[in-house]
Amino acid sequence: MTEVVVTGLGATTPLGGDVASTWEALVAGRSGVHLLEHEWAQELPCRIAAELAVEPSEVLPRVRLRRLDRSEQIALVAAQQAWDDAGLNDDLEKERLGVVFGSGIGGALTLLAQDDILEESGARKVSPFTVPMLMPNGPAAVVGLEYHARAGVHAPTSACATSAEAISWAADMIRVGRADVVIAGGAEAVIGGLPMAGFSSMKAMSTRNDDPTHASRPWDRDRDGFVMGEGGGALILERRDHAEARGAKIYAVVAGSGLTSDGFDMVQPDPECRGGGRAMAAAIKQAGIDPKEIGHVNAHATSTPVGDMAEVKGVKREVGDHPVLTGTKSMTGHLLGGAGAVESIATILAIVEGVIPPTINLENPDPALDLDVAANEARKVELNAALNTAFGFGGHNAALLFTKA
Amino acid sequence: MALSRDEIREGLSDILEEVAGVNPDDVADGKSFTDDLDVDSLAMVEVVVAAEEKFGVKIPDDEVANLKTVGDAVSFIEKG
């Protein structure tokens, strides 16, 4: 089977404006969550979130910025970093370059802002860039246009599984021979009144407004919901022989991926994690490795009461009771459509660096938690293989298995 | 008091810089919006709306097609 490797990483997150600063903060156990000072947030049940550490306006030219939704800005920033990190340039054959880049919600902030303009000032004042800014394939299209990708630009959307799913499709795109190089990932930026009110009405969000940095606490007895974050990540996936021929550095191998669906409930996770478990099993099967080799799982672990413990059951059943778990959303918040990409980057760097970032705020572990978690402090572990999982509203499940380069 | 052509051109130049990133030094009567200043059709919509606001004029959609150069726009606004 064609081997797919990772040759470039890019990210902008609540912990840092690039991969290096994000990784440094992850390993140090820093929280990116804070109290929202915006006027629109003051009447919401949840007034905490993890906003970007570095504003896209510090990185992108002004005119470019005003024609892109914030999710598209994030996508572009992350993709540019990944592209440069991979040492790619214009010599690449564009007919062999693809993009699979998603967003869970799309340009909701643009939609809301332009609707305000429509109501207040009339149709003529609505920006001509409204549609390309709010369409959910916008981030993928912006990245594809930036690098003139012509093998296909795709935009999977599966809520919080989006960018893990994107990486899986990207690997498939290379495996079936449609592309040599694919820019894969996802971006999300919906920290705003309506999206937050919607999640709050579902009772999905933490209301620990008086203690923001301790609000996201996967597997802790006192977890009370997720904390919204914004950001995104991009990975350069490449056919191994293509990467080797150009002397690229190889971070890791995308050894296997699994995509399944629950067929169970729109928003409730299956308490037995059957669909999530089948995704893990599929990734392991495709990789053709013994589950015992998987030393680490960067879990979806959103800090919600049901989901966190369901996933533990899935890991135990499909991988075993040996892997060291972590939930990096304890620090980044939940990047929704950007989560799978940023957490895949964390998983890959854990293999490369031999360090598992901590799950912070795990003060009183849930009594049912019987797996080893890198609680509160980073863990040094030699890793040959590690798994990243992502599950989304709608019952979408993705698992990605990375192995040492 | 009516604005002079120079004042209108300067105002347009500010708009072009703001919405389309056009260098003010490049703005002159003979310059074509699309061919010389890289103002595409979507950006032109923004320029028109901003110009209407700034100069208090109405630029009908069927008139926009005739405004090919900076000079065309300055003349239209000058007529009010």
Q: What is the arithmetic mean of pLDDT over A377-397? A: 98
pLDDT for B1 beyond 70: no
- A280: tokens are 């893990």
- Mean pLDDT, to the nearest integer, of A201-211? 96
Nearest one of A302, A77, A259, A78 to A162, comparing CA atoms: A259
Q: Is the pLDDT of residue A1 over 90?
A: no
Name chain B contacts of A128, Cβ cutoff 8 Å.
42-43, 45-46
pLDDT in tens, A67-116: 999 999 999 999 999 999 999 999 999 999 999 999 999 999 999 999 99
Whether B49 sits inside 8 A of A61 (CB atoms) is: no
Confidence of residue B57 (pLDDT cuts 50, 70, 90): very high
Residue A307 confidence class, pLDDT cut points 50, 70, 90: very high
B28 lies within 8 A of chain A by CB: no
Task: Assign 3-state DSSP to chain B and report helix, strand, coil percentages, each to 5.
Answer: 60, 0, 40
pLDDT at B80: 78
User: Is B20 close to A125, i.e. CB distance below 8 A?
Assistant: no
Alpha-carbon distance of A103 to A73, in angstroms, equals: 12
Q: What number is the average pLDDT over the span A285-299? A: 98
Residue type present at position A305: P
Tell me whether A263 touches chain B (CB under 8 Å): no
Token digits for A351? 């293999």
Residue A207 sits at the chain B interface (C-beta within 8 Å):
no
For residue B68, give both structure tokens: 């090919």
Across the interface, of B21, B42, B45, the residue whose CB is closest to A63 is B21
Q: Give the span between the Cα atoms of A105 and A50, in whole angstroms.
A: 17
DSSP-derived letter for residue A67 is: T
> Looking at residues A144-159, what average pLDDT do you find?
98
To probe the interface with A, which of B46, B48, B53, B54 has the most A CB atoms within 10 Å?
A: B46
Torsion of CA B23, B27, B33, B39, to 10 degrees: 20
ipTM of the complex: 0.90
Whole-number average pLDDT of chain A: 97
Contact A314, A233 (CB under 8 A): no
Q: What is the pLDDT of residue A58?
A: 97
> Sorting pLDDT into bands at 50, 70 and 90, what band is A192?
very high
Question: What's the token pair of residue B73?
Answer: 């726009």
A300 noted as active-site residue:
yes
A397: containing domain? 1-405
Q: Which residue of B has its CA nearest to A126?
A: B46
Q: What is the pLDDT, as a whole number, of residue B54?
A: 95
B29 is catalytic: no
How many structural domains comprise chain A?
1
- Pair of tokens at residue A165: 């799913």
Which one from A160, A242, A273, A396 is the annotated catalytic residue?
A: A160
Exposure on the CB side of residue B56, measured as CA atoms within 13 A: 3
pLDDT computed for residue A341 by the predictor = 98
Question: Above 70 in pLDDT, residue A290?
Answer: yes
| Catalytic residue flag (residue A160) | yes
Residues ≥6 apart with Cβ < 8 Å to A43: none
**What Å distances lie between residue A35 and A46, A65, A74, A302, CA to CA?**
9, 26, 22, 19
pLDDT tens figures, A334-384: 999 999 999 999 999 999 999 999 999 999 999 999 999 999 999 999 999
The topology (CATH level 3) of B5-79 is 1.10.1200
Q: Which of A63, A55, A99 is nearest to A191 (CA)?
A: A55
Task: Give B-chain residues touching A62 at CB under 8 angstroms.
Answer: 21
Q: What is the pLDDT of residue A291?
A: 98
Asked whether the beta carbons of residue A127 and residue B20 sit closer than 8 angstroms, the reply is no
Q: Which residue of B has its CA nearest to A124?
A: B49
Residue A101: helix, strand or coil by DSSP? strand
pLDDT tens-digit readout, A51-63: 999 999 999 999 9
Q: What is the DSSP string of A290-352?
A: -GGGEEEEE----S-HHHHHHHHHHHHHHT-S-SEEE-THHHH-B-GGGHHHHHHHHHHHHHH
Distance CA A256, CA A262 (A): 20
Quick check: A348 and A355 in contact, CB under 8 A?
no
| Catalytic hit among A154, A242, A296, A334 | A334
Considering CB atoms only, which of A63, A124, A128 is closest to B42?
Answer: A128
DSSP per-residue codes, A272-292: T-HHHHHHHHHHHHHHT--GG
- What element of type H or E holds A142? helix A138-146
Q: What is the CATH number of the domain that holds A331?
A: 3.40.47.10
Q: Do A128 and B21 touch (CB under 8 A)?
A: no
Whether residue A280 contacts residue A314, with contact meaning beta carbons closer than 8 Å, is answered with: yes
Phi, psi dihedral angles at A116 (to 5 degrees): -60, -45
pLDDT band at B2, cuts 50/70/90? confident
Q: Which among A75, A37, A61, A69 has a CA at the least distance from the CA of A155?
A: A75
Are B46 and A128 in contact (CB < 8 Å)? yes
Output the CA angle A312-A316-A318, nearest 5 degrees.
115
CA distance A108 to A73: 14
Residue A10 has pLDDT above 90, yes or no: yes
The SS3 call for residue A152 is strand
Q: Read off the pLDDT of each residue in A120-135 and give the average, rounded to a whole number.
A: 96
Q: How many Cβ pairs within 8 Å bridge chains A and B?
A: 15
**In the predicted model, what is the mean pLDDT of chain B?**
94
End-to-end CA distance of chain A: 16
CB A326 within 8 A of CB A359: yes
pTM of the predicted protein model: 0.97
**Which residue type is seen at A144?**
G
